[in-house]
Amino acid sequence: MSRTKARRSAGPAVPSPRGSGPAEAPVPAGPAARAVTGHRRVAAITGALFAGLFVVALLLVRQAPGLAVPGSGYAAFYEAGRGTVLVTAGLYVVPFAGIAFMWHMSAARALVEALPGPTPDLPRWLQLASGLVFVCMLFAGTAAVGAVALLTVFSSADLPAPGVARALTSVGYGLVFVFGVRAAGMFMITTTTLTRKRGLMPRWVALLSYLAAGFLLVSTTFHPAILLVFPGWVLVFSACLVLPVRRATARTATSKETR
């Protein structure tokens, strides 16, 4: 009932003229217009914040030994304490990246709901589920990778054998690269579907989004560079949200000057 009232109070939409390129989102009138603008800006700001924090956390956690490093490399890394501060700092950055992403996802969902028109239930719920799964896999995976590094900071007990550290790293890689990456790809598909129907995303960006999401779904690599695809897409999507706001503001200023 509340959703129906909100859509009725949004007022008539202003269609974009034919031949003017990709259709922009319908612009509600009155208080609904301010709500839509606020959702756009929150989603754009939190999306950019998530992308920046995610990249910083990835660079810091990357200091930990990878799966291809021999056992002697694991032992030397943790016994000497090299990179311990960087790894633990990276683990503390990851939660803030996840929080920023949940803000971004919630603001994007609120924006889609605030615009006139029906919202398909299946993509809407799949978007929520895939976003939450991505955050859970990100948290659990980075915790597994940095578990031994945390022991060097908060415990005086003997460090586990290199095989244990390698096993924890394998678990973390599996959670992030196998499950988290697929959840990110699903989030990209559902978000693109929802926002494209609202005119929030240009056609060429939607096409690239589907291609990038397909790449994440079928990828089998464990190279950290693949993790940059998702924050890069979030940054592009955030730019798509904020640019129409600037164009709308410019049109409003021009109309006032003409009057």
Determine the average pLDDT of the residues in 134-152.
89
Tell me, yes or no, whether 3 lies in a domain: no
- pLDDT of 79 reads 75
Give exposure, 122-139, as e/b (b: 16+ Cβ within 10 Å).
ebbebbeebbbbbbebbb
In the predicted model, is pLDDT for residue 241 greater than 50? Answer: yes
Tell me, yes or no, whether 253 lies in a domain: no
Q: At residue 242, what is the residue type?
A: V
- pLDDT of 28 reads 56
In the predicted model, is pLDDT for residue 109 greater than 70? Answer: yes
Tell me, yes or no, whether 219 lies in a domain: yes
In the predicted model, is pLDDT for residue 105 greater than 90? Answer: yes
Cα 175 to Cα 138: distance, rounded to the nearest angstrom? 7
Residues 6+ apart with CB under 8 A from 210: 188, 189, 192
Is 219 exposed, middle or buried, given 0-12, 13-18 or 19+ CB atoms closer than 10 A?
middle
What is the DSSP-derived secondary structure letter of residue 17?
P
The pTM (predicted TM-score) of the whole model is: 0.79
Tell me, yes or no, whether 174 lies in a domain: yes
3 state SS of 191: helix
Owner of token pair 């006032």: 256
Tell me, yes or no, whether 12 lies in a domain: no
155-193 confidence digits (pLDDT tens): 777 778 888 888 998 999 999 999 999 999 999 999 999
Structural domain including 115 reads 29-244
Residues 6+ apart with CB under 8 A from 126: 186, 190
Number of domains in the chain: 1
Of residues 53 and 197, more confidence is placed in 53
Confidence of residue 78 (pLDDT cuts 50, 70, 90): confident
Tell me, yes or no, whether 129 lies in a domain: yes
4-37 confidence digits (pLDDT tens): 444 444 444 444 443 333 445 555 556 677 788 8
Tell me, yes or no, whether 162 lies in a domain: yes
Cα 204 to Cα 212: distance, rounded to the nearest angstrom? 12
- The phi, psi pair for 137, rounded to 5°, reads -65, -35
Q: Are 174 and 219 in contact (CB under 8 A)?
A: no
Determine the average pLDDT of the residues in 250-257.
42
Q: Are 149 and 88 in contact (CB under 8 A)?
A: yes
| Helix residue ranges per DSSP H, the chain | 2-9, 31-61, 71-80, 84-114, 121-145, 147-154, 162-173, 181-197, 203-218, 229-258
Cα 210 to Cα 233: distance, rounded to the nearest angstrom? 11
3 state SS of 10: coil
Tell me, yes or no, whether 16 lies in a domain: no
3 state SS of 202: coil
Most confident of 84-88, 195-199, 211-215: 211-215
Most confident of 2-6, 86-90, 190-194, 253-257: 190-194
Token pair listed for 124: 């809407």
Nearest residue to 27 (alpha-carbon basis) of 186, 248, 176, 207:
248
Determine the average pLDDT of the residues in 44-67.
90
Average pLDDT, the chain: 81
Of residues 85 and 228, more confidence is placed in 228
Of residues 176 and 85, more confidence is placed in 176
Please compute Rg for the chain using Cα positions.
22
- pLDDT of 182 reads 96
3 state SS of 200: coil
